[in-house]
Amino acid sequence: MIPIMSMKAFNMIFIVDDDPIHQQISQIMLERLGVAKKIMKFCDAEEVLTYLKAHLTEASAMPDIILLDLNMPVMDGWDFLNEYANLYQKIPHSVRIYVLTSSIDEKDKERVSQYHFVNGYLTKPLAQSVMMKLLEEAQ
C-alpha cells in the first residue's frame, strides 16, 4: 500500500499486546495507512526485550515505534519499561514508545510519565486519527 500523503513509511512497528483482537485491529489500521514496511506482533513484553537484545548492533532490525500494552501475563508493560530503561541508550536509533492500554486510571498515566523515553499514553481502541497524528509527529 502507498503511504498516505507524503509520509515516509517506517521500517518497522512493533505491536505488543496479549489480546489478539487488539493486535489485529492495530495491524489492520497500520496496514491500511501504509506507514510501515514491516509490522511485528508480540504477545508479551519479554519477547520484545529478547528481540531487542539480540539485535542491538543492527539498526535496521530495530523498530521505529513500539505500541505497548500495560497489562499482560508473563512480563507486563511495566516490567518492560523498567528493563527498557537500562537498554534504550544502547539501541542504535531512537525508538518511539507509546503505551496503548485499556486503563483510564490517572495513576497509570502519572506512572507512565515517569519514563522519559515514553512518547505517549493512548487508550484502546486506537483511533485512526490518533494514529495519524502520532505518525506525523514521528516523521
Per-residue burial over 104-120, b = 16 or more CB atoms within 10 Å of its CB, e = otherwise: eeeebeeebeebeebbe
pLDDT at 36 over 60: yes
Task: Tell which residue, 74, 122, 133, has the closest CA to residue 97.
Answer: 122
Task: Tell which residue, 139, 124, 138, has the closest CA to residue 29.
Answer: 124
Higher pLDDT, 16 or 93: 16
How confident is the model over 32-61, as a mean pLDDT? Answer: 94
Task: Cis check for the bond before 125: say yes or no (omega within 30 of 0).
Answer: yes
How confident is the model over 94-108, as a mean pLDDT? Answer: 92
Confidence category of residue 34, pLDDT binned at 50, 70, 90: confident
pTM of the model: 0.91
Residue 30 grid coordinates? 497500520
Distance of CA 88 to the CA centre of its chain: 14
How confident is the model over 87-106, as a mean pLDDT? Answer: 92
Domain definitions of the chain by residue range: 10-138
CA dist 104 and 109 (Å) reads: 8
Q: How far is CA 33 from CA 4, 24, 38, 128, in A?
A: 6, 14, 13, 9
What does the mean pLDDT of the chain come to? 89
Q: Where are the alpha helices (DSSP H) in 55-87?
A: 77-84
State the CATH architecture for 10-138.
Answer: 3-Layer(aba) Sandwich (3.40)
